[in-house]
């Protein structure tokens, strides 16, 4: 009796996973079109989406030019609201076509998609907030799926790993540079003085940063021989300083000898996550079946 009881399989509790059922009917079809790039419909949707994003950003840029905005005010406003309705509908469809809408809503692209439509609606109450719509440019990252460049995501993983491994060295390097520019900014303030445009130590620090990074705007420049000599040293130092972080990251990249696995364009039907291995059967983020 005891053996029989021990052999009896435990009944799995699905109370927490009742929303994990496979998508069927229209939801499955919508998910295939909105999230996948493997089918003609999905590819057409993504291409349309990218063109809409580019067009909406261009409309936003044109709206910020006063002569154009004055001449085409209502046309630009109409286009902006058309794009807003389109992106709002797209966002709602993305929520509708996954079994875990909250998982998608709190993901990177879910937040970006929401922020991409909120400013126009908020502009009803706070005029001018629509200019935050430039965040839509971030959504162009979806072009990796459209152009079937998902394999490059594995290369990006190597770069991310190299940056993470070298973060302490880079932090120490940046702290050293910050200390250096404060010292140089103070020296040039003392050497040049207010009569030559260096009205404060922060102004000297600004000049040191601009000069050290070899940008050299020229809005402020030393006039005395000693100040010009200091500027020459700082500019030469700039070439070496720029090479340091490059060498740190390069060293980490050369140490990463692992060959990356190809990445699939398959999107999880539960949480909408991407970047799975081509032979993956389950989502590596939520565990749902792909």
Q: Is the pLDDT reported for residue 141 higher than 70?
A: no
Average pLDDT, the chain: 76
pLDDT at 14 over 50: no
CB atoms closer than 10 angstroms to residue 80: 18
pLDDT in tens, 188-199: 999 998 888 898
Residue 26: its pLDDT value, please? 82
Across 103-107, 158-162, 187-191, 242-246, the highest mean pLDDT is recorded for: 187-191
pLDDT at 2: 42
pLDDT digits (tens, 9 = 90+) for 69-83: 889 989 988 998 898
pLDDT (tens digit per residue) in 187-235: 999 999 888 889 888 999 999 998 888 777 778 888 899 988 998 888 8
Structure tokens belonging to residue 158: 């190597």
Q: What is the pTM of this model?
A: 0.54
Q: How confident is the model at residue 164 (pLDDT cuts 50, 70, 90)?
A: confident
How far is it, in rounded angstroms, from Cα 24 to Cα 97?
10
């Amino acid at each position: 009796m005891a053996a029989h009881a021990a052999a009896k399989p435990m009944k799995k509790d699905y109370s927490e996973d009742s929303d994990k059922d496979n998508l069927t009917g229209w939801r499955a079809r919508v998910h295939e079109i909105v999230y996948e790039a493997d089918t003609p419909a999905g590819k057409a949707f993504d291409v349309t989406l990218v063109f809409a994003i580019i067009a909406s950003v261009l409309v936003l840029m044109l709206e910020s030019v006063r002569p154009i905005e004055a001449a085409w005010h209502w046309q630009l406003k109409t286009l902006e609201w058309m794009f807003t309705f389109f992106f709002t509908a797209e966002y709602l469809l993305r929520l509708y076509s996954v079994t875990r809408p909250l998982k998608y809503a709190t993901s990177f692209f879910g937040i970006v998609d929401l922020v991409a439509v909120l400013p126009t609606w908020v502009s009803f109450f706070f005029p001018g907030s629509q200019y935050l719509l430039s965040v839509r440019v971030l959504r162009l990252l979806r072009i990796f799926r459209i152009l079937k460049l998902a394999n490059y995501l594995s290369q990006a993983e190597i770069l991310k790993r190299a940056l993470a491994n070298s973060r302490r060295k880079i932090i120490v390097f940046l702290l050293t540079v910050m200390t250096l520019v404060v010292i140089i900014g103070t020296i040039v303030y003392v050497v040049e003085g207010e009569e030559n445009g260096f009205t404060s130590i922060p102004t000297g620090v600004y000049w040191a940063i601009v000069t050290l990074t070899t940008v050299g705007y020229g809005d402020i420049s030393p006039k005395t021989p000693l100040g010009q000599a200091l500027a020459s040293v700082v500019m030469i130092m700039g070439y070496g300083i720029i090479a340091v972080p490059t060498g740190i990251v390069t060293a980490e990249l050369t140490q990463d000898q692992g060959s990356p696995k190809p990445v699939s364009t398959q999107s999880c039907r539960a949480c909408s996550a991407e970047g799975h291995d081509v032979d993956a059967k389950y989502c590596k983020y939520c565990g749902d079946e792909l």
